[in-house]
């Protein structure tokens, strides 16, 4: 991401502050300008020197705020500078101040002196998180469209408790930060419910052998995250995902399936409730004609494998959809990607299809990056040059958001 992106990081008091160091480091290495504001309690957990060194910029404290002697007030400068404000960790105390519009330190004054989106990553002990007052504040703050949440996860907490209150991991924080930088905090999909499929399906011959493909599910998870940030409700139907990817599904209703038939059933179940369907899954088009319930001995394996078709899920959804529902497919192709994708767009009855090459290094199955040509039913052909899958997801929604 270009140098011009500007993230202001607010660090309030919590042991999860240590995780923020790697976030600052990754952003700075990617060329994002990071400035940081530490509350007094934040400084108890992480030295100013660490933050300033990692960000390659000065970091600010209440001391810099109250003792400023020249120039414009620091909170105004920082508030105007920030393109995105991230508060991680967000303590119960700072949350309470945000919920009530209070401003008694540099961080809370800067929040009030800025208009950019604010990403909140709470971290606290389970009992603190579950206090009614804290939950009230959390819901109250999120009523304001300016605030975006990364809900705390569950796990072992630093207080030796197991429960909810763990701050999101750095990878997850970074994905949210990049996503909000792409969308600029716009909630242009607000009120829409998206049904997204992703990953591969597996068609078993016996309990150990299956027909499948290398799709990782990264594109669909990126689509789901981007849609959530743009204000949509998301239901994600996915094949097997790596744990790191599963950890990024916070706030998303996720349904895990294995076979194309299970995916078909899940998609049909949710179809009536949704506005858009994005079928990013790489469905196995065929399955073994018979499935053994127990493992076949090597000697019993057939020399050739009789195959049977699986349902064409998206084509079936197109038959059953209501007039206001929109269907977007994906076409993973080799060679000239446009003609076969156009043919699928028409044959399956889709509103748009994203044709992406799987024979170009650094894009397609399993990669973090992708490139594509977005084809619409109206005959448009929009090139999406190589970029991260998250950026591509935002570009797809930007194009389709104004057309559908």
At its nearest, how many Å lie between ligand C5P and the CB of residue 192? 19
98 vs 283, which CB is nearer to ligand C5P? 283
At its nearest, how many Å lie between ligand C5P and the CB of residue 309? 8
At its nearest, how many Å lie between ligand C5P and the CB of residue 135? 39
Contact residue for ligand C5P among 310, 345, 355, 375 (CB under 6 A):
310
Q: Is 372 in the site for ligand C5P (CB under 6 A)?
A: no
Q: Of 21, 116, 159, 387, which one is the catalytic site residue?
A: 159
Task: Identify the sign of the CA torsion 264, 249, 401, 280.
Answer: negative
At its nearest, how many Å lie between ligand C5P and the CB of residue 120? 34
119 vs 280, which CB is nearer to ligand C5P? 280
At its nearest, how many Å lie between ligand C5P and the CB of residue 374? 13
Scanning 42-50, 217-225, 295-303, 305-313 for contacts with ligand C5P by CB under 6 A, the matching segment is 305-313
Contact residue for ligand C5P among 27, 84, 283, 352 (CB under 6 A):
283
Among this protein's residues, is 367 annotated catalytic? Answer: no
Contact residue for ligand C5P among 16, 95, 314, 337 (CB under 6 A):
314
Number of shown-chain residues binding ligand C5P (CB under 6 A): 13
Site for ligand C5P in 319-338 (CB under 6 A): 329-331
Asked if 129 and 164 touch (Cβ cutoff 8 Å), the reply is yes
Query: x/- string (CB under 6 A) for ligand C5P, residues 343-362?
Result: -x------------------
At its nearest, how many Å lie between ligand C5P and the CB of residue 402? 22
Q: Which two tokens stand for residue 310?
A: 């699986």
Contact residue for ligand C5P among 77, 256, 262, 285 (CB under 6 A):
285
Site for ligand C5P in 221-280 (CB under 6 A): 260, 279
44 vs 289, which CB is nearer to ligand C5P? 289
Catalytic residue positions, numbered: 159
* Binding positions for ligand C5P, rule: CB under 6 A: 260, 279, 281, 283, 285, 310, 312-314, 329-331, 344
């Amino acid at each position: 991401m270009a140098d011009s992106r500007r993230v202001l990081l607010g660090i309030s008091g919590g042991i999860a502050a240590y995780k923020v160091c790697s976030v600052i480091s990754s952003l700075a290495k990617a060329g994002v300008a990071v400035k940081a504001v530490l509350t007094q309690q934040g400084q108890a957990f992480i030295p100013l020197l660490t933050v300033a060194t990692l960000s390659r910029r000065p970091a600010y404290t209440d001391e810099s705020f109250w003792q400023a002697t020249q120039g414009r007030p620091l909170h105004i400068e920082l508030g105007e500078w920030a393109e995105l404000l991230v508060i991680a960790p967000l303590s119960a105390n700072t949350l309470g101040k945000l919920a009530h519009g209070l401003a008694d330190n540099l961080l809370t004054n800067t929040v009030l002196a800025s208009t950019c989106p604010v990403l909140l990553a709470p971290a606290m002990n389970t009992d603190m998180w579950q206090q009614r007052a804290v939950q009230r504040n959390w819901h109250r703050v999120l009523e304001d469209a300016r605030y975006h949440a990364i809900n705390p996860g569950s796990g072992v907490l630093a207080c030796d408790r197991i429960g909810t209150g763990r701050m999101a991991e750095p990878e997850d924080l970074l994905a949210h930060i990049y996503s909000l930088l792409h969308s600029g905090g716009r909630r242009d999909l607000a009120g829409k419910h998206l049904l997204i499929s992703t990953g591969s399906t597996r068609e078993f011959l016996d309990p150990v052998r299956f027909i499948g493909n290398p799709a990782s599910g990264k594109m669909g998870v990126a689509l789901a995250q981007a849609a959530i940030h743009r204000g949509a409700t998301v239901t994600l139907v996915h094949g097997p995902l790596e744990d790191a990817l599963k950890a990024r599904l916070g706030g998303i209703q996720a349904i895990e399936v294995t076979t194309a038939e299970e995916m078909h059933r899940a998609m049909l179940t949710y179809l009536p409730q949704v506005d858009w369907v994005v079928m990013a899954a790489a469905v196995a088009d065929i399955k073994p004609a018979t499935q053994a319930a127990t493992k076949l001995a090597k000697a019993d394996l057939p020399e050739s494998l009789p195959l049977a078709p699986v349902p064409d899920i998206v084509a079936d959804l197109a038959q059953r959809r209501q007039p206001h529902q929109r269907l977007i497919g994906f076409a993973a192709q080799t060679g000239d990607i446009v003609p076969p994708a156009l043919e699928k767009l028409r044959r399956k009855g889709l509103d748009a299809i994203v044709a992406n090459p799987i024979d170009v290094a650094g894009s397609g199955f399993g990669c973090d990056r992708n490139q594509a040509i977005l084809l619409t039913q109206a005959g448009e052909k929009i090139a999406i040059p190589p970029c991260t899958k998250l950026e591509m997801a935002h570009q797809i929604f930007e194009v389709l958001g104004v057309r559908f």
